[in-house]
Amino acid sequence: MSRLSRRSLIAGGLATPFLATSGFSQSEWPKGPIRWIVAFAAGGAADTVARNVGARVSAILGQQVIIDNRTGGNSLVAASAVLQAPRDGQTFLIDAANQVTNPFLIKDLPFDYAATWMPVTKLSDFPQVVAVKQDFPARTIQEYIAAAQDKPATISYGTPPAAGMGHMAGEELQRRAGIRLIHVGYRGGADAARDIGAGAVDSVIITTSSIRPPLAAGQVRVLAVTSLKRASTFPDVPTIAESGYPGYDMSDWNGLFAANGTPLELIARMQAVCAEAIRDSKVRERLDPAGAVLVADTPAAFKAWLEGQRTLLGTLITDAHVKLG
């Protein structure tokens, strides 16, 4: 929050998230180009999903979906931009775990996430992997856990970034397995992949797409995936859930949100269009290499899932004293 003052956020409209804009006909929606403001940098996983799904949404609606990347402030810069726009179904936010974790990580937030943001649809999940450097002795996730139990707080694991979903997956593994690991935060998945390839860290928890370069070079071994079901890109790799920890499910993800006050009818229509776009085989083919598992659930299902995540991740952050940076 050091680069984004509370005063500037309030001036930008974050302190008044409940003012709806009226005076338009819903039958005319969309009445022009739609903006999806992405809280992440161009070229990353969330941006790749947004651009591919957004292109198909554009074709379905006959109106351009403009992808607008606004990074910074742990997604608060993007949030500010959306909340300054009219609540007319023309502007949406693409965010991820920050929606759940920011209230536990950032003091004096100028708004209540659960009250300010209306879930539209989860767009995609990104299964993560637990991978070890090539000369690490463990060959299975059970052996990795046994090594950590034998020598507590000696095995390092890298994730992008601190307090991200990789970090949360590591904290949940430690909690469930009764082990202690050393966390190393990275700016991005490519940085963590580079370091484990060089043997600078013992292990990583990163997405299936990020692990591919060091895996292809024979520098790492993938021991398990963090999703509830096996990843289609790693069908022979077991899940942590099937390896002795039932119900373990800690994928990275991203989703579409609208500011509170956006008409519910328009939220439902946007979700329906996203679901149609995600069913398109060409969209799926383009996103398969990125390891994206496309979702497009309903606003109600997405909201219920988010509530469960708030309970789980809030407990992890509080109990493990997780901090940003």
CATH code of the domain in which 209 resides: 3.40.190.10
Judged against a pLDDT cut of 50, whether residue 21 lies above it is answered with: no
Q: Is the pTM of this model over 0.85?
A: yes
Residue 83 has what pLDDT? 97
Domain C-terminal end among 225, 243, 261: 243
To which H or E segment does residue 126 belong? strand 117-126
Q: Which residue has the higher pLDDT, 241 or 23?
A: 241
Q: How confident is the model at residue 27 (pLDDT cuts 50, 70, 90)?
A: low
Does 57 score more than 90 pLDDT? yes
pLDDT at 18 over 80: no
Q: What is the pLDDT of residues 190-221, one digit of tens each?
A: 999 999 999 999 999 999 999 999 999 999 99
Regarding whether 36 and 100 lie in a shared domain, the answer is: yes
Does residue 325 form part of some domain?
Answer: no
Is 1 inside a domain boundary?
A: no
Model pLDDT, residue 110:
84
Sequence-distant (6+) residues with CB within 8 A of 185 are: 158, 159, 160, 161, 162, 167, 325
Within 10 A of 324 (CB to CB), how many other CB atoms are there?
A: 14
pLDDT tens-place string over residues 277-324? 999 999 999 998 888 999 999 999 999 999 999 999 999 999 999 998
Is 262 in the same domain as 118? yes
DSSP 14-45: TT-TT-----S-GGG-S-S-EEEEESS-TTSH
pLDDT at 36: 98
What whole-number percentage of the chain has pLDDT above 90? 87
Q: Are residues 283 and 190 in the same domain?
A: no
Domain co-membership, 19 together with 56: yes
Task: Tell me the three state secondary structure of residue 90.
Answer: coil
65 shares its domain with 153: no
Residues 270 and 200 in one domain: no
Residue 98 lies in a domain: yes
pLDDT above 90: residue 222: yes
Q: Note whether 282 and 215 are same-domain residues.
A: no
Residues 137 and 202 in one domain: yes
Q: How would residue 97 be classed by pLDDT, with cut points 50, 70 and 90?
A: very high
pLDDT at 258: 98
Count of structural domains within the chain: 2
- pLDDT at position 51: 97
Q: How many CB atoms lie within 10 A of CB 227?
A: 24
On whether both 216 and 197 belong to a single domain, the answer is: yes
In this structure, the answer to whether residues 269 and 215 fall within a common structural domain is no
Task: Please give the residue that has the higher pLDDT: either 3 or 116.
Answer: 116
- Same domain? For 151 and 175 the reply is yes
Same domain membership, residue 149 and residue 76: no
Domain region containing 134 = 128-243
Task: Give tens-digit pLDDT for 33-53.
Answer: 999 999 999 988 899 999 999
Asked whether residue 136 is domain-assigned, the answer is yes
